[in-house]
Amino acid sequence: MEIMDRTEIKLTDESISTFLEEMKARHCKPGSVTSYRQTLNSLASYLPDGQGVNRNTAAEWKAWLEEQGFSRRTINARISILNSFLKYAGKREWQKTDFYERSDEIQPELTRTEYIRLLRTAKMLDKEREYLLIKVMGGAGIRIQELDRVTVEALKAGTIQTESYKQKHIRRIPSCLRKELLAYAKRENISSGPIFISKDGSPMVRSTVWYCVSSVSRDARVDESKANPRSLWRMYCSTWERMELSIQALMDQMYEKILDEEQLVAGWEE
């Protein structure tokens, strides 16, 4: 474990692998090891270049995860893994122990089946703006505070630049959604600036966005508590989390296969 200046722990592939080997030695299940690796890799990506884990990392990362819309259950799991890493590194005093209670997980989760029902219903009701709002947030992961970044110029470029927790992100807009948005802008005579605007040309306010999304819920037979920007964002995050875990598990299996093949060729015992 590399200590940078006694106030930071460098989070590298080597330090992560060493930690995971210790977890395996403690009979940690393969699925848990995969989850540990994925979480620590996510933390490494979150940290600014050159910065290691320090006494403020757990609190700052938790705040960032909250801002990104991750569920409280997911945040608990990720902070717990970071705490395990800190314990291994001999930095228990850097751990964050104020976890969410189970009863705090009150926000119901929107399923992708319900999401599709919202889209199909908005289309059936000829509510194109509502359809696009749902798709932009649930399909492209654009948060409600980032909607003003969805401009004609950004769509033509194919990417949207956003910023959260002092970090800049480039979001790619899927080609199918990009075409729909540009076609909508053309029909609405929006030649530049934000796509989602009010009658006076200013960006839509939060309350209007929430109303637009929830207005489709009854006809779509989706609980209104799920038909909102926050639930759409969480569904988007959950989808990516499941895909990342599946990919990581597949990579682990492929690497194990490589090691098994090398063992047949150059193992100590034939």
Contact 79, 58 (CB under 8 A): yes
81 contacts 95 by C-beta, under 8 angstroms:
no
CATH classification of the domain holding 144: 1.10.443.10
Task: Give the pLDDT score at 52.
Answer: 87
For 49, phi then psi, to 5°, come to: -55, 130
What's the pLDDT at 102? Answer: 53
pLDDT of residue 113: 94
Q: Please state the rounded mean pLDDT for residues 150-173.
A: 81
Count of structural domains, the chain: 2
Query: How do residues 81-133 score in pLDDT, each as one tens digit?
Result: 888 898 888 888 888 877 665 544 445 689 999 999 999 999 999 999 999 99
**Residue 123 and residue 202 in one domain:** yes
**Is residue 251 a part of any domain in this protein?**
no
Q: Closest by alpha carbon to 199, among 230, 190, 81?
A: 190
pTM: 0.62
85 with 116, same domain?
no
Q: Are 67 and 19 in a shared domain?
A: yes
Say if residue 124 is in the same domain as residue 177.
yes
- Determine the average pLDDT of the residues in 164-187: 84
pLDDT confidence bin for 3, thresholds 50/70/90 = very low
CATH of the domain at 64: 1.10.150.130
Chain segment 195-223, per-residue pLDDT in tens:
999 988 899 998 899 999 999 999 999 99
Please choose, from the candidates 70, 85, 72, the residue with its C-alpha nearest in 3D space to the C-alpha of residue 16: 85
Q: Does residue 77 lie in a domain region?
A: yes
Whose structure tokens read 């940690």?
28
175 and 73 inside one domain: no
Residue 262 lies in a domain: no
**38 and 92 housed in the same domain:** yes
Q: Which of 55, 60, 42, 65 is nearest to 86 (CA)?
A: 55
Residues 94 and 117 in one domain: no
Q: Which domain covers residue 222, as residue numbers?
A: 112-236
- Residue among 121, 123, 190 at smallest CA distance from 150: 190
Q: Give the Cα separation of 164 and 192 in Å (integer).
A: 24
Q: Using one digit for the tens of pLDDT, what is the confidence trace for 31-71?
A: 778 888 888 888 888 888 778 898 888 888 888 888 777 77
What tens digit of pLDDT does each residue of 176-202 get?
999 999 999 999 999 999 999 998 889
Residues 226 and 207 in one domain: yes
Identify the pLDDT of residue 108: 67
For residues 120 and 74, state if they share a domain.
no
Q: Is residue 61 part of a domain?
A: yes
Q: Are residues 179 and 227 in the same domain?
A: yes
